[in-house]
Amino acid sequence: MVDLLHILERTKEIAKEAGAFIREERKNFDLEKVEQKGLNDLVSYVDKEAEKIIVSRLEVILTEADFITEEGTAARDGKAYTWIIDPLDGTTNFIHGLPVYAVSIGLRYKDEIVLGVVYEINQDECFYAVKSHGAYLNGKRIQVSKARRLAESLIATGFPYSGFSKIDDYLKILRSLMEKSHGVRRVGSAAMDLCYVACGRAEGFFEYNLKPYDVAAGAIIVMEAGGKISDFRQGSDYLFGGDILASNYHIHEELDAEIQKVWRK
């Protein structure tokens, strides 16, 4: 029987180890070492080396697990457990020296996320959760905001760096939310957007054109903090479907209604 609480403690240590490496590399980071995987899709040796650190450590603590990783360090093999890893969520922020980026590690058992750790490197904030055990930030229990209306809420989102065919609909949603909420924020890291919903710094988050490693860890942290996660159709395909809607639960339907006014799949 897998002891998820024990694995959680080891995973937190691994996330912080990778975070320490990233923090140190940022001090003398050379922009000339940046590579471009696709349109506006950036990566550096820091992402790749951090991922190698994470995968090599996780392989030891849970040998019967596959991996889904952003930089392709390891692959899936049909096992029940799957680690889903973004070694540096917020790479563009990191490259430009904007201090919001994180290590994100989620663990999926069959079709369900059961563990998540997100370590924000600059603020030394470690968010984590295990299924049915609550969500925490640096050892303290966290909960979503109690705001009950969109008009009382701060909304987080992300801007796509590709897939611009839907940008007009997206901008219409932004305009509506600017008018009907306390405001819209773009942090630059989906993992951190989700954690900020979990701890009540924002009431909702939505974004499209995402990958599993962007949201796996943050999603369970939101749910264990009392929030709600869905895709844009209030379904459950947020992990592989490409879009996600997270909220403090109270505003979920109201926020989704604003998206559905203009969104087309």
CATH of the domain at 193: 3.40.190.80
How confident is the model at residue 40, as a pLDDT?
41
Residues 22 and 113 in one domain: yes
Q: Are residues 83 and 166 in the same domain?
A: no
Measuring CA to CA, which residue among 199, 203, 200 is closest to residue 183? 203
**Count of domains forming the chain:** 2
**Per-residue pLDDT at 153:** 98
176/255 same-domain check: yes
The per-residue pLDDT for 115 is: 98
The pLDDT score that the predictor gives to residue 77 is 64
Does 111 show up as a binding residue in the annotation? no
Written as tens digits, the pLDDT of the chain (265 aa) is 689 999 999 999 999 999 999 999 888 887 766 766 544 445 678 888 999 999 999 999 998 899 999 877 666 667 899 999 999 999 889 988 999 999 999 999 999 999 999 999 999 999 999 999 999 999 999 999 999 999 999 999 998 777 778 889 999 999 999 999 999 999 999 999 999 999 999 999 999 999 999 999 999 999 999 999 999 988 999 999 999 999 999 999 999 999 999 987 6
Max alpha carbon distance in the chain (Å)? 51
The per-residue pLDDT for 76 is 61
Identify whether residues 9 and 46 lie together within a single domain.
yes
Q: Is 9 annotated as a binding residue?
A: no
Does residue 50 share a domain with residue 113? yes
Residue 118, domain member (yes or no): yes
Q: pLDDT at position 44, please? A: 76
User: Are 206 and 115 in the same domain?
Assistant: no
Which pLDDT value is given to residue 42? 52
214 carries a ligand binding annotation? yes
Same domain, 135 and 13: yes
Amino acid making up residue 261: K
Q: What distance in Å separates the CA atoms of residue 183 and residue 181, rounded to the nearest whole number?
A: 5
One-letter amino acid identity for 187?
A: V
Q: Which of 205, 201, 224, 198 is nearest to 144 (CA)?
A: 198
Is 265 inside any structural domain?
no
pLDDT of residue 118: 98
User: Are 138 and 157 contained in the same domain?
Assistant: no
pTM: 0.94
Nearest C-alpha neighbor of 155 from the set 265, 229, 245, 263: 245
Which residue from 26, 74, 37, 68 is spatially nearest to 52, judged by alpha carbons? 74
From 142, 170, 202, the end of a domain falls on: 142
CATH of the domain at 137: 3.30.540.10
Quick check: is 113 in a domain? yes
Whether residue 111 is contained in a domain is answered as yes
Whether 157 is covered by a domain: the verdict is yes
My answer on whether 161 and 65 are in the same domain is no
Please check whether residues 208 and 92 belong to one and the same domain: no
Query: Which range of residues forms the domain containing residue 217?
Result: 150-260
In a domain, 214, yes or no: yes
Residue 70 marked as a ligand binder? yes
**Contact in structure between 216 and 113 (CB atoms under 8 Å):** yes
| Last residue of one domain, picked from the residues 87, 121, 142 | 142
Does residue 61 belong to any structural domain of this protein? yes
Assigned domain for 201 exists: yes
**Same domain, yes or no: 54 and 120:** yes
Looking at residue 137, its pLDDT comes to 98
Domain boundary among 80, 110, 142: 142
- Shared domain check, 108 and 180: no
**Helix axis angle, 167-180 to 252-260, nearest 10°:** 140
Whole-number pLDDT of residue 37 = 58
